[in-house]
């Protein structure tokens, strides 16, 4: 781990991120962060400025109560930052939607209390969120973004987008997501059917309906594969479950719900192919996890995925919204075991070389110290100019 010779005491880092359990990319990132050596080398404090999840969905008096409770909680966080523990760095994790604004407030508080702020953008649909805002809301959103010392984004595509809306390029830093490397000695294989794993949020954006259409329209898939559709529930979950039952797919399509810990590990070990036919992404941790388990992955060239997957080298890239392309990709892998095995090995090697947490933790630590060193240099220049 990186050490800074100028720091006589541990740098205090306040992390603002989502609540557990780790059933989404941002939650998984925050949980994995605390498994690294970063909390050993820094004085890391975790808090969340959104106490109640899914608060905007609550209506009436109950919704009013939850909003008031959240505002009281954010006030407590602010007082804590000002009175109890003044952090050197505030590292805020956020996505798009209404949750962006209470998290964005943390950046203003950090500046007010003399801390440096890092806004870590995980939202795959932030571009659509921003473009749909009124001009006044866009200006407010840009103020939140500009207030930070660093805007962390997951891909070069997102770097270009934020630069295009007026964020200074020198403030935008690309840091891809990362995962821990599992031991593959217990990989389960040699089954009559190949197991295709969909492990992500069950929603239209992730391409789950295209999977159902492919199974429906291409009967040979029902003979050669079994499918696991797993992930946290959304408004689409019940609809997908109903469709699976009504189409008569229940014998070879399993829907176990959200998977964490040992259950998630078992799902990856039982699978042969990982599927994520998304329309929009940042840098999907589920894809990185699947690659770390040596799975052949079928996915789409959106967001940061082209920075990870090279077509027919360490995975297959297909167009989003195309059930036929998905069916052809599945049939290709079923008929060419050598290609499937080769892509799995290359996928694992890609994670080892570029997307492991060991390397990522080093980069985050260097970023923390660079921010503080920049402040130190500015203070030194001010003193020198005054003499």
The CA-atom distances, in angstroms, between 16 and each of 150, 180, 377, 385 are: 15, 22, 27, 37
Residue 185: per-residue pLDDT? 80
**pLDDT attached to residue 331:** 97
CATH number assigned to the domain covering 194-354: 3.40.50.2000
Instruction: Average the pLDDT over each of 24-33, 187-196, 301-310 and give the range with the smallest value.
Output: 187-196
Of 17-21, 108-112, 310-314, which has the strongest mean pLDDT? 310-314
What's the average model confidence in pLDDT over 167-196? Answer: 88
Residue range(s) occupied by CATH 3.40.50.2000 in the chain: 12-178+356-386, 194-354
Nearest to 313 by CA among 285, 342, 276, 287: 342
Q: Name the architecture of domain 12-178+356-386.
A: 3-Layer(aba) Sandwich (3.40)
Q: Transcribe 35-88 into DSSP letters.
A: TSSHHHHSEEEEE-S--STTGGG--HHHHHHHHHHHHHHHHHHHHIIIII---S
Find out whether 291 and 351 touch, Cβ atoms under 8 Å: yes
Higher-pLDDT residue of 104, 305: 305
Helix H or strand E encompassing 253: strand 253-257
CA atoms within 13 A on the CB side of 38: 28
Mean pLDDT of 205-215: 97
Residue 188's pLDDT band, with cuts at 50, 70 and 90, is: low
The overall average pLDDT reported for the chain is: 86
Burial label, 236 (beta-carbon count in 10 A; 0-12, 13-18, 19+): middle
Q: Tell me: pLDDT of 56 over 90.
A: no
pLDDT classification of 316: cutoffs 50, 70, 90: very high
Comparing 204 with 114, which gets the higher pLDDT?
Answer: 204
Which distant-in-sequence residues (6+ apart) come within 8 Å of 124 by Cβ? 95, 96, 205, 278, 280, 281, 282, 284, 303
Cα 361 from Cα 84, distance rounded (Å): 27
CB-side neighbour CA atoms (13 Å) of 126: 27
- Residue 121: which H helix or E strand, with range? strand 116-121
Q: pLDDT: is 110 or 197 the higher one?
A: 197
From residue 138, alpha-carbon distances to 97, 135, 143, 158, 237 in Å are: 13, 5, 9, 17, 32
Inter-residue contact 45 to 15 (CB < 8 Å) = yes
Question: Rounded distance, CA 71 to CA 116, Å?
Answer: 23
* Model pLDDT for residues 266-300, shown as the tens digit of each residue: 999 999 999 999 999 989 999 999 999 999 999 99
The whole-number average pLDDT for the span 348-374 is 94
pTM of the complete model: 0.86
Residue 75, pLDDT > 90, answer no
**Tens-place pLDDT, residues 152-176:** 999 999 999 999 999 999 999 999 9
Alpha carbon distance 365, 369 (integer Å): 6
Other Cβ atoms closer than 10 A to 319: 13
Inter-residue contact 120 to 89 (CB < 8 Å): no
Name the residue with tokens 């189409």. 247
d(CA 229, CA 209): 11
- The whole-angstrom separation of Cα 371 and Cα 43 is 16
């Amino acid at each position: 781990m990186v050490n800074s010779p100028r720091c006589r005491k541990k740098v205090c880092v306040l992390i603002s991120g989502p609540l557990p359990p780790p059933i989404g990319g941002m939650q998984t990132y925050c949980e994995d962060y605390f498994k690294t050596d970063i909390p050993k080398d820094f004085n890391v404090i975790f808090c969340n400025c959104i106490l109640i999840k899914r608060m905007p969905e609550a209506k009436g008096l109950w919704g009013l109560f939850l909003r008031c409770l959240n505002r009281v909680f954010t006030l407590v966080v602010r007082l804590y930052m000002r009175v109890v523990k003044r952090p050197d760095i505030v590292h805020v994790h956020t996505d798009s939607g209404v949750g962006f604004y209470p998290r964005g407030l943390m950046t203003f508080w950090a500046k007010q209390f003399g801390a440096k702020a890092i806004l870590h953008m995980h939202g795959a649909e932030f571009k659509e969120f921003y473009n749909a805002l009124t001009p006044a809301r866009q200006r407010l959103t840009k103020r939140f973004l500009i207030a930070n010392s660093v805007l962390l984004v997951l891909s070069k595509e997102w770097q270009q987008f934020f630069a295009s809306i007026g964020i200074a390029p020198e403030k935008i830093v690309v840091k891809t997501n990362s995962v821990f490397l599992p031991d593959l000695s217990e990989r389960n294989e040699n089954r009559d059917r190949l197991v295709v794993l969909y492990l992500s949020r069950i929603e239209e954006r992730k391409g789950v309906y295209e999977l159902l259409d492919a199974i429906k329209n291409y009967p040979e898939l029902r003979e050669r594969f079994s499918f696991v559709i797993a992930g946290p529930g959304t408004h689409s979950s019940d609809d997908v479950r109903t469709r699976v039952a009504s189409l008569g797919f229940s014998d070879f399509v399993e829907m176990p719900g959200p998977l964490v810990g040992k259950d998630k590990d078992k799902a990856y070990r039982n699978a042969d192919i990982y599927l994520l036919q998304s329309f929009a992404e940042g840098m999907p941790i589920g894809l990185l996890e699947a690659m770390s388990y040596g799975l052949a992955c079928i996915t789409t060239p959106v967001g940061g995925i082209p920075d990870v997957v090279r077509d027919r080298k360490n995975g297959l890239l297909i167009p989003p919204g195309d059930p036929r392309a998905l069916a052809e990709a599945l049939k290709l892998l079923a008929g060419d075991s050598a290609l499937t095995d080769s892509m799995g090995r290359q996928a694992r090697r890609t994670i080892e070389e570029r997307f492991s947490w060991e390397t990522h933790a080093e980069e985050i630590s260097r970023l923390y110290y660079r921010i503080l060193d920049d402040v130190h240099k500015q203070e030194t220049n001010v003193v020198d100019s005054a003499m």
